[in-house]
A and B are shown apart, each in its own frame.
Chain A
Amino acid sequence: GESVGLHLPTLSVQEGDNSIINCAYSNSASDYFIWYKQESGKGPQFIIDIRSNMDKRQGQRVTVLLNKTVKHLSLQIAATQPGDSAVYFCAENSNTGKLIFGQGTTLQVKP
């Protein structure tokens, strides 16, 4: 069945380093992907999205990479800051038209 998952449940990085959070998806027909950030006790916040006709999209300090060949999505955060500490979810637009969320990766930023 459809699934969106993450390779690592927890990622710990040093402040100032770059972070890479990975996500694998299973539905090759998915054409839209989103990354969300969820801080403790709050609802998820939209970070960045990408459509399947693109391989890369950049935002402010964040970059999303899409590799359709291996069905892999990644979120890169440059110069990670303590405020980046949160759970990060990838989401996939499945062929049912609804979003399917991965289980999340916890990013811990060490000062």
Chain B
Amino acid sequence: SQTIHQWPATLVQPVGSPLSLECTVEGTSNPNLYWYRQAAGRGLQLLFYSVGIGQISSEVPQNLSASRPQDRQFILSSKKLLLSDSGFYLCAWSTPAGLGNDQLFGPGTRLTVL
């Protein structure tokens, strides 16, 4: 069966510090991968998606970047965190059949920037 992992579960970082969040998927090959951010009490904002190794599409201009060094690994990074980067970060995957198919989400990372 397929599983998706995210770590860390929670993170508290000072403003200006770097960030690295990791997401890995097991039990599938060549998945589409997604990073979302969710502000408190709000919906999901798509940040990045990837259809293959090294292929990253950015949805919104921001202080963050994403990379996909391996087929089932998706990393969200920042060189210098801002207060506005605080939020709940969710990784998701879908089958390679299409970007609009149902997505399965990881447990999320709660990031607090102080």
Instruction: Identify the A interface with B (CB < 8 A).
Output: 32, 34, 36, 41-46, 49, 89, 93-94, 96-99, 101-104
Contacts and interface: CB of A to CB of B under 8 A. Distances in A.
Secondary structure of the B contact surface, majority rule: loop
Nearest to B94: A99
A93 B43 CA distance: 16
Interface of B: 42-44, 46, 49, 90, 92, 98-108, 110
Contact of B110 (A41, A46, A98): A41
Contact of B99 (A42, A98, A104): A98
Contact of A101 (B44, B99, B104, B106): B44
B102 A44 contact: no
Contacts of A41: 108, 110
Nearest to A106: B41
